[in-house]
Amino acid sequence: MVIKGTINGGERFIRQSHNAIINLIPEPPRVKMVASQPGYLHSPATIACSVKSMTPFNVVWYFGEAREGTKWKPLTLPQLMSGRDVDSDVTYEITDVTDNSEGYYKCLIETSRGKDEGITYLDVEEQPPLIDAPDRLLVSPGQTAELKEPFKVSRSNREFGKIRVQGQIGVEPG
């Protein structure tokens, strides 16, 4: 940067800065979403949209079809969010997932520099079964126990592989 001017006595001066000054022009926003995510019946779900924007942006959520030419149903009014030059997440919360919640969700981001959108599919499934495991399992020699979840084994002088029990062994959920 070069600064030219005059000093009190009319003397001209020139100052030159060796620092580069770059005028950053904000780019249009960029949006990323996963292609599909699971949602479980009668449970809450959060649909996330990752946004990169250097300027404040409006976000609107829609529900509908991913086919071109179909109408999207707005789920929210535009919400103004502050832009940063880092990824930020905006979310849409579903408090109780039902069969009608299954479908495509669109996150539309708009700034003064442009707009972008992301689409994800919420795949609604039955809630996975809860396994009620005992806090501790003791197996004596000759007995069998079937373990189906991650677990911790405390042992002394025992062979492992298929867990051959030759004395008492304690097993706790992991």
CB neighbours of 30 closer than 8 A, spacing ≥ 6?
51, 52, 53, 116
Most confident range (mean pLDDT) of 2-11, 16-25, 143-152 is 2-11
Task: Judge whether 98 and 106 are in contact, CB under 8 Å.
Answer: no
pLDDT at 147: 64
pLDDT at 87: 72
56-107 confidence digits (pLDDT tens)? 899 999 999 777 777 899 999 988 887 655 678 899 999 999 999 999 999 9
pLDDT at 82: 77
Topology (CATH level 3) of domain 30-125: Immunoglobulin-like (2.60.40)
Report the share of the chain in percent with pLDDT over 90: 40
pLDDT at 99: 93
Higher-pLDDT residue of 87, 110 = 110
Residue 166 pLDDT > 60, yes or no? no
Cα distance between residue 65 and residue 1, in whole Å: 53
Q: 171: how many CB neighbours lie within 10 A of its CB?
A: 19
Task: Judge whether 84 and 66 are in contact, CB under 8 Å.
Answer: no
User: Would you list the domain boundaries of the chain?
Assistant: 30-125, 131-174
Residue 7 pLDDT > 60, yes or no? yes
pLDDT at 81: 84
pLDDT at 66: 72
Residue 161 pLDDT > 50, yes or no? no
DSSP 55-105: S-EEEEEEEE-SSTTPPPEE-S--EEE--EEEEEEEEEEESS--GGG-EEE
Residue 55 pLDDT > 80, yes or no? yes
Higher-pLDDT residue of 12, 78 = 78
